[in-house]
Amino acid sequence: MHRLSSHGSRAQPLHGMWDLPGPGHKPVSPASAGGFSTTAPPDIGKKLPLKLVMICNNLINYTSETDIDDRYGDLDSRTDSDIPEIPPSSDRTPEILKKALSGLSSRWKNWWIRGILTLTMISLFFLIIYMGSFMLMLLVLGIQVKCFHEIITIGYRVYRSYDLPWFRTLSWYFLLCVNYFFYGETVADYFATFVQREEQLQFLIRYHRFISFALYLAGFCMFVLSLVKKHYRLQFYMFAWTHVTLLITVTQSHLVIQNLFEGMIWFLVPISSVICNDITAYLFGFFFGRTPLIKLSPKKTWEGFIGGFFSTVIFGFIAAYVLSKYQYFVCPVEYRSDVNSFVTECEPSELFQLQSYSLPPILKALLRRETVSLYPFQIHSIALSTFASLIGPFGGFFASGFKRAFKIKDFANTIPGHGGIMDRFDCQYLMATFVHVYITSFIRGPNPSKVLQQLLVLQPEQQLNVYKTLKTHLIEKGILQPTLKV
């Protein structure tokens, strides 16, 4: 129990307030107690039961001791306004653009900077697509690392004055461990034949779950050893910060690569739909925006949100039609050991073969035709585009709330006019999870290539047993003749 000073601040705890008089007890004068007597009244034992007095006394002493031990816990009492403001990053706009746009207002200057950089990024993206699926995987990994760096840097800059031991070192160490865990699974599933040829990799892949768990435990122990009494709570805050960041970045990027292995079209259509929605919502909001959409993002408008929705659905439908024509985009990405590279050659599945669909009566009257030929994937693209335009933006709103909480405009200043990499991909991570769930729920069937990869790593006796079982099954189905010789 504490009393307040005249200034409203905490004074010393009143330890002896309910102490019973006893031998050697020396009363404290009111003056020495700051105006309050800490000596119990002489008749307190008569008025209150002895046991109740002892309980109150112990409770007060416990509260006082707890408060002393918890004197470094003032962080809990902080409000958002107490969080130190992060200094804004320097402007990285090229000098050529600054000089060329110097005569424009800030609104139109930002318009042109965003537009030029957007076209540049789209052009580079097309170049990487042309270079193949492996380069796309490297791009995803690079974006993952940069997004992780931007989020962790915010935490470090906010709490840098506390001098937390090993915070950044452990953060990057955990990133390495989690990446090894997730992508070890990917290598084991899709690169088994390559691993079989490289003896150095066999141990790392065969026991990668145990190795990754052991590495994580080592980091966990290092974190425990780094705990400092005056920073306990803050260190656990940052430990949770790191793990949530890993969940957002590493897990989602892993799902992006899993989608890519299903076929490049499952990677390109969702990502381009989010990009299209971002661009068209910005355009509609810039020229027609009048009605605010959400307080977290004051510049977002209903006009931009609705215009982006219809534009994205139309774009996704057309993009799905164009990409469905080419094996390069629709075939699952496979690693071929004979050519030592990724290949995208296959017989397209029914999703990517034209089929006739009967039109509803209203469309029949408007189009004056009974049927229309579509790729089934185009129908799925409507679901993907709808999510990208209606739910995807909430990933951006979430990021806006995060930035407001830490009083920053952007995650970083990597891309002039756009902010950091995380500012561009906050919606993409949410989209990647949806696409993965959508594929596993409605699309994916058994993967012959993956099954074959697993068969090749079995022992010869196990492979022979699988062959005999498969042969018996095919004979029973009437696919093979019983007289077939091995």
Q: Tell me how many domains the chain contains.
A: 3
Residues 198 and 306 in one domain: yes
pLDDT at position 201: 80
Query: Would residue 78 count as lying in a domain?
Result: no
Signed CA dihedral, 102, 107, 108, 110: sign only: positive
pTM of the model: 0.75
Residues 203 and 312 in one domain: yes
**In this predicted model, what pLDDT tens digit does every residue of 18-75 receive, in sequence order?**
444 444 444 444 444 444 444 455 554 455 555 555 555 555 554 444 443 444 444 4
To the nearest 5 percent, what fractions of the chain are helix, strand and coil? Answer: 65, 5, 30
Query: Would residue 87 count as lying in a domain?
Result: no
**In this predicted model, what pLDDT tens digit does every residue of 206-227 receive, in sequence order?**
888 999 999 999 999 999 999 9
State which of 26, 48, 71 marks the end of a domain.
71
Which whole number is the average pLDDT over 298-309? 93
Residues 265 and 408 in one domain: yes
Which whole number is the average pLDDT over 73-87? 53
pLDDT at position 42: 52
For the cut 80, the answer to whether the pLDDT of residue 228 exceeds it is yes
Residue/partner pairs of 217-222 with CB below 8 Å, 24 or more apart: 219/170, 219/173, 219/174, 219/177, 222/166, 222/170, 222/173
Residues 106 and 239 in one domain: yes
Q: Are 411 and 422 in contact (CB under 8 A)?
A: yes
Residues 173 and 117 in one domain: yes
Q: Where would I find the beta strands (DSSP E) of 245-309?
A: 292-294, 297-301
**In this predicted model, what pLDDT tens digit does every residue of 251-270 receive, in sequence order?**
999 999 999 999 999 999 99
Residues 273 and 404 in one domain: yes
Angstrom distance (rounded) from CA 439 to CA 263: 11
**In this predicted model, what pLDDT tens digit does every residue of 418-453 receive, in sequence order?**
788 999 888 898 999 999 999 999 987 666 767 777
Residues 301 and 227 in one domain: yes
pLDDT at position 17: 41
pLDDT at position 155: 87
Query: Would residue 316 count as lying in a domain?
Result: yes
Q: Percentage of residues in the chain with pLDDT exceeding 70?
A: 78
Does residue 264 or residue 483 have the better pLDDT?
A: 264
**In this predicted model, what pLDDT tens digit does every residue of 280-292 receive, in sequence order?**
998 999 899 999 9
Range of the domain at 479: 446-486
pLDDT at position 244: 95
**In this predicted model, what pLDDT tens digit does every residue of 381-402 receive, in sequence order?**
999 999 999 999 999 899 989 9
Residues 308 and 451 in one domain: no
Does residue 82 or residue 376 have the better pLDDT?
A: 376
Query: Would residue 89 count as lying in a domain?
Result: no
Residues 436 and 450 in one domain: no
Query: Would residue 94 count as lying in a domain?
Result: no
Mean pLDDT over all residues of the chain? 81
- DSSP string across 342-378: EE------GGGS-EEEEPPHHHHHHHT-SEEEE-HHH
Query: Would residue 77 count as lying in a domain?
Result: no
